[in-house]
Amino acid sequence: MAQTVLLLVLLLFGCSSFPRLHTLKINQRPIIGILAQETFDAGLLRYGKTYIAAPYVKYLESAGCRVVPVRLNLTNDEYEKIFYSINGIIFPGGSSDLKTSAFAKAAKKFYELALKAFDAGDYFPIWGTCLGLQLLSVLTAGKNLLTNTDSENIALALNLTNAAASSKMFQKFPPDVYQALCNEPLTGNFHSFSISVKAFLEDEKLSKFYSILSTNNDRKGVEFVSTMEGILYPFYGVQWHPEVNRFQWQRNLAFPHSPNAVKVSYFLSDFFVNEARKNFHHFKSLAEEEATLIYNYSPRYVPTSSYIQVYFF
């Protein structure tokens, strides 16, 4: 009804009478944080104790946002200040302890702040990729339910669930790309741990908090959760790596590069950036904003790394 009234008003008075109507409800200059991780590779420690893989930065920027690196080992007050300055955050893939690492402790702070903010009417989205999905499951369940899976270096088609078509994550996918997700190996998997469908469904906290959008089977037939989204909260997780489809090129790794793989990567980054547009946090000053952006750092070319380009801190 409201849309019909709006259409009649526009027809009678013209669009020029409402030049800012569509701009009032979205953030035109979203900024998304990427959580850094500890550097465990001895050969890379000389560059920095923590890092962010450059493909995640490119992935977000390609959909129309700017990026802030979220450093580790900051105080709770510093993390809270960052939270109220950015419009969303990504917990990236990698290798960190899901309870004791500085990565996990910082992620927990943002998770708790986002829960509290949403309950107060403040929409703050979180995205977890690979390790990030696993961390979201631990934060929600309050325990580690992961199991070993034979799922390293393999591209898979998704087994989409009935919930996928109406999900926030996939509902705007073009029909041909959505169908391709089911039929083509468009998702790169690089993980040796997963949360099994059985463990997910048997845990009341997880099953009430997230909807399973897709599953997969590892090489030995173990069925694991590969895509999930919050039923109420704007929290999203993929066990696979959409950023690699466009930004990683090592020949010995199962990075999907087909036209549909590229489209999947773009549509998901576009989705999450648009989620961040619903948030209106901002830095207190332009100078503070500019000093915090990833532009202040340069990625290092590291041929020995699986990421090729890495930001070190």
- Hey, what are 192's tokens? 């040796």
Catalytic residue among 15, 65, 182, 241: 241
Out of 15, 22, 65, 130, the active site residue is: 130
With contact defined as beta carbons under 8 Å apart, do 59 and 93 qualify?
no
241 is catalytic: yes
> Residue 67 in contact with residue 61, Cβ under 8 Å?
yes
Residues serving a catalytic function are 130, 241
